[in-house]
Amino acid sequence: MSAFKYGFFYILETILRFVPIPQKTGLVKIGRPDRNSPVLVTGNYHLTVLKVKRALAGQNVFLLVADSHGINVWCAAAGGHFTHHDVISAIKLSRIENLVDHRTVILPQLAAIGIEAKIIQQRTGWKVKWGPVEIGDFPAYLEKREKKTAAMSVVRFPLRGRLEMAAAWAFWISVVFTLVLSILKPASIGPAVIMVCLLSFFMFFAFPAYLSLLRPKGEEKLWKKRRLGKTIFLVFCLLLVLAGVLLYGLWTARLSSGFILFWGLASVFAAIVLTGDLAGSTPLLISEFREEKGFRVEVDSNKCRGDGICRAVCPLDCFILDEKSRLAVLEKPDLCIGCGACIVQCQFDALSYTADKDRRINPDFIRKHKVGLSGKRKPRKKEVEIS
């Protein structure tokens, strides 16, 4: 694929970020794979497959594109749209067992949130290995004989990722503004779109500056502090926008009370949409749209056998293995986004979501219902089984 074509799809699908775009499923040979070549699985989101092929150029790999319903791997796995059944289907129907001598399949680490490695092994005989978070790290991962460095298992939110997210939000909010203003005030569409873009790009660009406001220490008051941090930031954004509006009004000499009211309301609307689930728009914080706010991940040291799978699949590197006891310890609970990958993968059921007063959501229930504190998929209240 030419760089131009890739660039076209990259921009288009980055803007349309929240829409699923399915790609053909099945086996793809990259380079000239032989009987010892690694077998890699990915989801069938169009842009994902493009990115994977691009990152793997020059390697010799079998790529299984499994059915994630046109959604990226992490979101699909969290939402229950990409499960072990899709992987089993990709393994069995591609007849990959006739093409290689080994029986190890490498899955994207972020899929650990919704795919049970144990079931894949039981039903297909294939062993699951959790690959790097970023496909760009894959060549280095292969060079290290399929060993991950700590950096390879951590989710980041670099400038590029933030700008991608900003572009997607700016696009969708602009669509809403365009639709509404085309009826009310067509002449203001242009300035409104510019305002939305500036606000959105500013918020995501400045994210590292206020990350600590949204991720305070101390679990108990986390949510109150989070709200305070967000409010401060929201007010700050609004002041900036209003200053911009005033300047714009002075510059075009159209400053009037109606002008200020209109742009004031428009910017408040845009800022509220953007900050509504600001945390959930980043991979580093817990979404605010969830019910189980009191719950957090907890290790039961009586059940833990120290096999370290929690550490291997944690996208924020929260776990350590205690040097003396060799048991898992949730060393950085403040960083935990409660995605639940560790709970799903632990074969000893040593992890669970636990709240005060001994309320606990069991691992089996979490696996079945894809309960995740970072996602929005959650069981109805009456379905929550608490023990």
Partner 1 sequence: MSTLLLMKLFERIPGRYDKGIRLLTGGQLDGLYDRLIARIGEEDRVLDIGCGTGALTIRAAKKGAIVKAIDVNPRMLDIARSKAEDSHLTQNIEFVEMGVAELGSEPDRIYDAVMSGLCLSELTKEELDFVLKEVSRILKPDGFFLVVDEVRPHSFFRKLFQGFFRSVFRLFVFLISGTTTRALRNFQSKIEQAGFEIVSCELNKGQNLLSLTARKNRDRP
- Within residues 341-370, the interface with partner 1 by CB under 8 A covers 368-369
Q: How far is the CB of 132 from partner 1 (least distance, A)?
A: 25
Among 131, 86, 124, which residue's Cα sits nearest to residue 106?
A: 131
Q: Which stretch binds partner 1 (CB under 8 A): 82-90, 253-261, 267-275, 344-352?
A: 82-90
Q: Which of 59, 280, 377, 384 binds partner 1 (CB under 8 A)?
A: 377
Q: CA 382 to CA 349: how far, in whole Å?
A: 23
Q: Which stretch binds partner 1 (CB under 8 A): 90-98, 106-114, 291-299, 331-339?
A: 90-98
C-beta atoms surrounding 111 within 10 Å: 29
CA angle 130, 132, 135 (to 5 degrees): 125
What would the x/- binding string for partner 1 be over residues 105 to 144, using CB under 8 A?
A: ------------------x---------------------
Q: Which of 69, 103, 359, 360 binds partner 1 (CB under 8 A)?
A: 69
Distances (CA, A) of 363 to 104, 113, 150, 349: 25, 12, 26, 6
Contact between 316 and partner 1 per CB under 8 A: no
Q: Which stretch binds partner 1 (CB under 8 A): 24-32, 154-162, 253-261, 318-326?
A: 24-32
Q: How far is the CB of 371 from partner 1 (least distance, A)?
A: 11
Q: Which of 28, 73, 88, 373 binds partner 1 (CB under 8 A)?
A: 88
C-beta atoms surrounding 326 within 10 Å: 12
Contact between 14 and partner 1 per CB under 8 A: no
Give the residue carrying structure tokens 């059944």. 85
Q: CA 47 to CA 70: how far, in whole Å?
A: 9
Q: How far is the CB of 291 from partner 1 (least distance, A)?
A: 14
Contact between 70 and partner 1 per CB under 8 A: yes
Q: Which stretch binds partner 1 (CB under 8 A): 3-11, 52-60, 80-88, 227-235?
A: 80-88
Give the residue carrying structure tokens 């096999």. 307
Sign, CA dihedral 348-353-359-360, equals negative
Give the residue carrying structure tokens 């796995």. 77
Cβ 62 vs Cβ 38: under 8 Å? yes
Contact between 282 and partner 1 per CB under 8 A: no
Q: Collapse the DSSP code of 51 into the 3-class scheme (helix H, G, I; strand E, B; otherwise coil) and give the result.
A: helix
Backbone phi, psi, residue 201, to 5°: -65, -40
C-beta atoms surrounding 60 within 10 Å: 15
Of 117 and 222, nearer to partner 1 (C-beta) is 117
Of 92 and 221, nearer to partner 1 (C-beta) is 92
Of 167 and 299, nearer to partner 1 (C-beta) is 167
Sign, CA dihedral 182-186-189-190, equals positive
Contact between 67 and partner 1 per CB under 8 A: yes
Sign, CA dihedral 241-245-250-256, equals negative
Q: Collapse the DSSP code of 165 into the 3-class scheme (helix H, G, I; strand E, B; otherwise coil) and give the result.
A: helix
Q: CA 376 to CA 17: how far, in whole Å?
A: 17
Q: Which stretch binds partner 1 (CB under 8 A): 180-188, 194-202, 223-231, 375-383?
A: 375-383
Q: How far is the CB of 113 from partner 1 (least distance, A)?
A: 14
The residues that touch partner 1, with contacts defined as CB under 8 A, are 18-20, 22, 24-26, 67, 69-71, 75, 79-81, 83, 85-86, 88-89, 91-94, 123, 368-369, 377, 380, 383
